[in-house]
């Protein structure tokens, strides 16, 4: 296939960026989207031009490192029949002669580093503020000492599949990180081990989320529709319920 | 049959000293004497302790944030040490442990199926084809149960049964069900558990995290590892960090093959730089080729994707009996015309034979001309061009009939989806096509029982060390080893060393630090100065092709010798003609890759030398010259029951081979049999 790419080029955070067009020939349908970008970079390198910077690592949809906006949708969600990460999007979803626009995540909390690479360390900070169970190594009881009902354990698992890629934030008109935050809240709130710190956790995480410059949630739902791991919008409902309940509890700092 | 009818020849006796210099034997001196089950408690008792009040005065550098590094950083932080943690990704949560699918082994015996610490120990040593150190493996089995307890307490959502208790499944090379799992995403869930524990310590101020920092040098002062040099991957700044001890948990080197199931960024630079500073590299030729990966689609392929070994629980592997059926729709091939070759050759273990055996048999079937999928043009070791189909079927139709589609979906749904997304084929309707791919490296830096390398104060954890898997790793044991090292072993041994600290202060003006900083900067300048015509990737692909052909699933004397010449020529060309775009003081991915590929070029040669020296077949290391009548790996315990620990002797100087004899005190050395 012949593909025309329009890629966001920005030398550094403080520089202005622009969309730049490139022509690619002989793109095969079996290639992944990132392999197509590799091909572009080989071509640019051959012309002694600077290749396009983009984040990627595992290329099997699990590490959460890759992520670009493709034709307006994060990870090219609306180019694919199924939920996907950028690395798992394949060129068989495109046609000969297509023009594809590629941009970085755009959100206040994710400053651009270069080209398609953004800084998502704000996500780590949300987890640091309480997205864990406080258990030191060596102090755990036998794994079977507390059975966990399967239905709730499965619910916890569904939320725990979040890969922290940031597509939810990129999709949200408000740049909100609520789906990400609620995935961790829902994961830990559905396990017996997560109960002691449940109220403490939610107040701290939501406060940090707001401090970091993420926008507020208006239940628009774009986040859940592009999420590669299909974290359901109900997670945010769980977060809101728990947050309200926690406001009547004394433990933890207040939101 | 391409392989099985060949005559077995005795190995030639004299190793070819053109390639290396023999050195003194080495030994582990840390494992205490006595019964095997008393060794670890005894070592924990004799190891010197550090008073809790003194721990914050001691700094530990940990490179890597995967299961081993992340767990170690969190645990040492909890203990009160001052930890500096580094990773090359944008967050510690992205380390490649995350991609492990199938599960984690533990000797819990929750199934009441005769499992025990001893059995897990035995299975691991046998699975590793008797090339692992007994003492380390026993301890691994011993702490395996604690790992599950720890992870459950952290909120890792393992699969559960309706009674609320944990579910387990079977994995290759064993006959008990001891593998705990979290759908097909066990690595992800375990890593997120360790990551959360790590983030908690970052919040507590005990761990200082440095993302997007790549280690490029080790600093050794006064005979001790005292720091590292990193390159900030955003600004290009090259700086030194100092500590009382350094821990490398930087994973394996499978990307030397270019195509592997490793993440794109996985590299050998940290361990290779340490090797050049004096750390011995053990058994570099022991690489694991995983049998169930999605076949290569073409020249632009950038990496390979694994389909979890857990699929072999319910999937049946087969090829057509007749070569002329290979192009047919598999659903049209009658049952009688299918060769379920693993079930035929290994009736006791069937589709669940260890990985090295399943991989080699898949290769044999395709070599016989009974592979499936598109024809691939390849150049053989004799330089001839041939066309082969490189794929075998992994078929779930029996399981779907027996259990129903719903049950299969619940167990393997995400893997099936992934397969369909990558190949465009629906595995519920037509069998998957799979082929072996490079997956894991059993070799790594040599460590003793305490996980300390041959450089005092340099510790190595997880896949980066060589210690536990011998010549072949069993499925679901990588996660176990990473977490065992990080949570339970290192935090109980490194104190013995740190008790001697804090050590003399070092800074940028210390001679060795200044030298390391200058050498790191010099290398970057040298790479950027070449301004040649070939891209970094083209060199990496060329290197990978050499390694896959000559140091892959089947190795020969002549092939390896030829490969060493080819690698040397390629390396020379690399430094003459590589094209690295951009400058150092920038986010420069071409430069990052160039540094890694340069180190892979050096490692590749050592791998071939190691493979050449080991004139026997064992586990994943298959020498064509050394096989049994029916084509199985033939070990030579009288000559090669040792760990080959290689010492770096200088650029262009032959490496020195130190042997650590393997003494089997508790397990009898036997020919492995899974029939």
The CATH class, in words, for B290-439 is: alpha beta
* Inter-CA distances, B88 with B99, B460, B486, B643, Å: 16, 17, 19, 30
pLDDT at B384: 83
Rounded distance, CA B472 to CA B482, Å? 16
Contact status, residue B170 vs residue B176, Cβ threshold 8 Å: yes
Q: What is the pLDDT of residues B420-461, one digit of tens each?
A: 999 999 999 999 999 999 999 999 999 999 999 999 999 999
Q: Give the residue-averaged pLDDT of B4-18.
A: 51
- Spell out which residues of chain A touch residue B265, defining contact as CB-CB under 8 Å: 57
B57: pLDDT strictly greater than 50: yes
The answer, for A150 touching chain B at a CB cutoff of 8 Å, is yes
Peptide bond into B519 cis (omega under 30): no
Q: How many CB atoms lie within 10 A of CB B191?
A: 32
Q: What is the pLDDT of residues B203-256, one digit of tens each?
A: 999 999 999 999 999 999 999 999 999 999 999 999 999 999 999 999 999 999
Domain boundaries, given as residue ranges, for chain B: 290-439, 518-635
pLDDT at B378: 82
Q: Do B263 and A128 touch (CB under 8 A)?
A: no
Of B317, B308, B315, B294, nearest to B396 by C-alpha is B315
B355 is catalytic: yes
Splitting chain A (255 residues) into consecutive groups of 10 residues, what average pLDDT does each group show? 98 97 96 97 96 97 97 97 96 97 97 98 98 96 96 95 98 98 98 95 96 96 97 97 91 52
Start-to-end CA span in chain B (Å): 19
Rounded distance, CA A223 to CA A239, Å? 15
| B518-635 has CATH 1.20.58.100 classification | yes
Give the residue on A whose Cα is nearest the Cα of B188: A62
- Spell out which residues of chain A touch residue B535, defining contact as CB-CB under 8 Å: 42, 45-46
pLDDT at B339: 97
Rounded to a whole number, what is the largest CA-CA distance in chain A? 64
Q: Which of B72, B74, B90 is most worth mutating to test chain A (most A CB atoms within 10 A of its CB)?
A: B90
pLDDT at B1: 33
B434: Cα within 13 Å, side-chain hemisphere: 32
| Cα angle, residue B52 at apex, residues B47 and B57 outer, rounded to 5° | 100
Enter the ipTM: 0.97
Percent of chain B beyond pLDDT 90? Answer: 88
Strand partners of residue A117: A114
Find the catalytic residue in B139, B226, B231, B355: B355
What is the DSSP-derived secondary structure letter of residue B348?
Answer: T
pLDDT at B15: 52
Rounded distance, CA A155 to CA A186, Å? 8
- Spell out which residues of chain A touch residue B301, defining contact as CB-CB under 8 Å: 35
* Radius of gyration, alpha carbons of chain B: 24
Of A129, A135, A121, A98, nearest to A5 by C-alpha is A98
CB interface of A with B, residues 77-116, below 8 Å: 82, 84, 88, 90, 92, 113-114
| DSSP per-residue string spanning B487-545 | IIIHHHHHHHHHTT-SPPP--TTSHHHHHHHHHHHHHHHHHHHH--SEEHHHHHHHHHH
Contact status, residue B393 vs residue B318, Cβ threshold 8 Å: yes
CB nearest B579 (choices: A45, A147, A193) = A45
Q: Do A31 and B297 touch (CB under 8 A)?
A: yes
B299: pLDDT strictly greater than 90: no
pLDDT at B16: 61
Which domains are assigned to chain A? 3-103 (3.10.20.30), 120-134+147-247 (1.10.1060.10)
- Spell out which residues of chain B touch residue A138, defining contact as CB-CB under 8 Å: 146, 150, 487-488
- Spell out which residues of chain B touch residue A64, defining contact as CB-CB under 8 Å: 91, 93-94
B2: pLDDT strictly greater than 50: no
Give the distance from CA B478 to its chain's centroid: 8
Those residues with Cβ within 8 angstroms of residue B596's Cβ, 6 or more apart along the chain or in another chain: B255, B267, B268, B269
Residue with tokens 């089947």, as numbered in its chain: B554
Start-to-end CA span in chain A (Å): 53
Contact status, residue B138 vs residue B481, Cβ threshold 8 Å: no
Rounded distance, CA B409 to CA A92, Å? 25
Q: What is the pLDDT of residues B331-387, one digit of tens each?
A: 999 999 999 999 999 999 999 998 889 999 999 999 999 999 988 888 777 778 888
Strand partners of residue B440: B288
The answer, for A229 touching chain B at a CB cutoff of 8 Å, is no
pLDDT at A252: 57
| Cα angle, residue B73 at apex, residues B71 and B75 outer, rounded to 5° | 65
pLDDT at A249: 83
């Amino acid at each position: 296939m012949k593909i025309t790419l329009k890629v966001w080029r920005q030398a550094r955070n403080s520089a202005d960026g622009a969309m730049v067009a490139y022509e690619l020939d002989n793109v095969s349908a079996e290639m992944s989207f990132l392999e197509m970008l590799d091909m572009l970079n080989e071509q640019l390198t051959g012309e002694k031009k600077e290749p396009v910077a983009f984040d990627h690592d595992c290329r099997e949809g699990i590490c959460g490192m890759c992520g670009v906006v493709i034709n307006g949708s994060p990870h090219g969600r609306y180019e694919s029949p199924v939920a996907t990460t950028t690395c798992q999007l394949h060129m068989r979803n495109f046609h000969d002669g297509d023009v594809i626009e590629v941009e970085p995540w755009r959100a206040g909390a994710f400053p651009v580093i270069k080209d398609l690479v953004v800084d998502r360390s704000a996500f780590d900070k949300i987890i640091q503020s309480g997205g864990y169970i406080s258990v030191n190594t060596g102090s755990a009881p036998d794994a079977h000492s507390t059975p966990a009902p399967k239905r709730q354990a499965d619910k916890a698992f569904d939320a725990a599949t979040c890969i922290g890629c940031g597509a939810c934030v990129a999709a949200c008109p408000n740049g909100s990180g609520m789906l990400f935050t609620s995935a961790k809240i829902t994961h830990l709130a559905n396990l017996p081990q997560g109960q002691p710190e449940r109220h403490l956790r939610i107040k701290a995480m939501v406060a940090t989320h707001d401090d970091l410059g993420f926008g507020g949630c208006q239940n628009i739902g774009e986040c859940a529709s592009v999420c590669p791991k299909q974290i359901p919008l109900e997670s945010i409902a769980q977060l809101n319920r728990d947050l309200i309940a926690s406001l009547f509890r004394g433990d933890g700092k207040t939101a | 049959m391409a392989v099985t009818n060949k005559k077995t020849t005795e190995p030639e006796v004299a190793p070819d000293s053109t390639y290396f210099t023999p050195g003194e034997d080495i030994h582990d001196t840390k494992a205490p004497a006595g019964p095997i089950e008393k060794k670890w408690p005894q070592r924990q008792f004799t190891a010197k302790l550090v008073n809790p009040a003194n721990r914050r005065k001691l700094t530990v550098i940990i490179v890597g944030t995967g299961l081993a590094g992340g767990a170690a950083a969190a645990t040492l932080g909890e203990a009160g040490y001052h930890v500096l943690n580094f990773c090359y990704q944008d967050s510690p949560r992205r380390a490649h442990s995350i991609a492990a699918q199938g599960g984690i082994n533990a000797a819990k015996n929750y199934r009441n199926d005769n499992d025990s610490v001893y059995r897990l120990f035995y299975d691991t040593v046998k699975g590793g084809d008797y090339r692992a150190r007994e003492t380390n493996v026993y301890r691994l089995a011993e702490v395996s149960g604690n790992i599950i307890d720890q992870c459950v307490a952290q909120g890792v959502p393992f699969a559960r049964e309706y009674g609320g208790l944990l579910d387990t499944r079977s994995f290759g090379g064993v006959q008990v069900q001891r593998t705990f799992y979290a759908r097909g995403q066990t690595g992800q869930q375990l890593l997120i558990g360790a990551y959360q524990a790590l983030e908690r310590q970052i919040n507590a101020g005990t761990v200082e995290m440095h993302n997007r920092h790549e280690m490029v040098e080790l600093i050794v002062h006064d005979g001790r590892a005292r720091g590292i040099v990193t390159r900030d991957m955003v600004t290009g700044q090259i700086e030194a960090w100092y500590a009382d001890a350094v821990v490398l948990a930087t994973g394996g080197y499978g990307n030397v093959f270019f195509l592997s199931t490793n993440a794109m960024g996985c590299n050998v630079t940290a361990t290779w730089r340490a090797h050049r500073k004096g750390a011995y590299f053990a058994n570099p030729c022991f690489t694991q080729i995983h049998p169930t990966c999605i076949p290569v689609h073409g020249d632009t392929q950038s990496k390979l994707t694994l389909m979890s070994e857990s699929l072999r629980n319910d999937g049946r592997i087969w090829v057509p009996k007749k070569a002329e059926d290979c192009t047919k729709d598999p659903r049209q091939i009658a049952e009688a015309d299918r060769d379920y070759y693993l079930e035929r050759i290994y009736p006791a273990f069937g589709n669940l034979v260890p990985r090295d055996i399943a991989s080699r048999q898949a290769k044999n079937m395709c070599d016989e001309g009974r592979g499936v999928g598109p024809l691939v043009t390849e150049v053989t070791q004799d330089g001839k061009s041939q066309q082969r189909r490189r794929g075998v079927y992994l078929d779930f139709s029996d399981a779907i009939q027996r259990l129903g589609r719903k049950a299969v979906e619940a167990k393997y749904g995400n893997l099936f989806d992934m397969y369909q997304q990558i190949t465009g084929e629906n595995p519920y309707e037509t069998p998957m096509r799979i082929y072996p791919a490079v997956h894991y490296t059993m070799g790594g830096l040599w460590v003793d029982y305490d996980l300390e390398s041959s450089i005092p104060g340099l510790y190595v954890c997880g896949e980066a060390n060589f210690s536990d898997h011998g010549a072949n790793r069993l499925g679901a044991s990588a996660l176990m080893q990473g977490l065992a090292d990080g949570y339970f072993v290192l935090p109980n041994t490194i104190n013995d060393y740190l008790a001697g600290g804090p050590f003399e202060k070092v800074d940028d003006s210390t001679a060795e630090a200044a030298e390391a900083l200058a050498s790191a900067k010099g290398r970057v300048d040298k790479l950027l100065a070449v301004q040649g015509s070939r891209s970094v990737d083209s060199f990496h692909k060329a290197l990978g092709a050499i390694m896959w052909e000559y140091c892959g699933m089947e190795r020969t004397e002549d092939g390896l010798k030829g490969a060493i010449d080819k690698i040397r020529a390629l390396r020379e060309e690399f430094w003459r003609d590589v094209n690295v775009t951009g400058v150092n003081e920038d986010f420069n991915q071409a430069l990052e890759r160039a540094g890694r590929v340069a180190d892979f070029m050096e490692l590749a040669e050592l791998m071939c030398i190691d493979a050449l020296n080991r004139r026997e077949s064992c586990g994943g290391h298959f020498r064509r010259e050394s096989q049994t009548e029916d084509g199985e790996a033939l070990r030579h315990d009288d000559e090669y029951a040792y760990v080959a620990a290689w010492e770096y002797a200088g650029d262009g100087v032959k490496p020195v081979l130190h042997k650590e004899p393997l003494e089997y005190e508790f397990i009898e050395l036997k020919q492995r049999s899974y029939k």
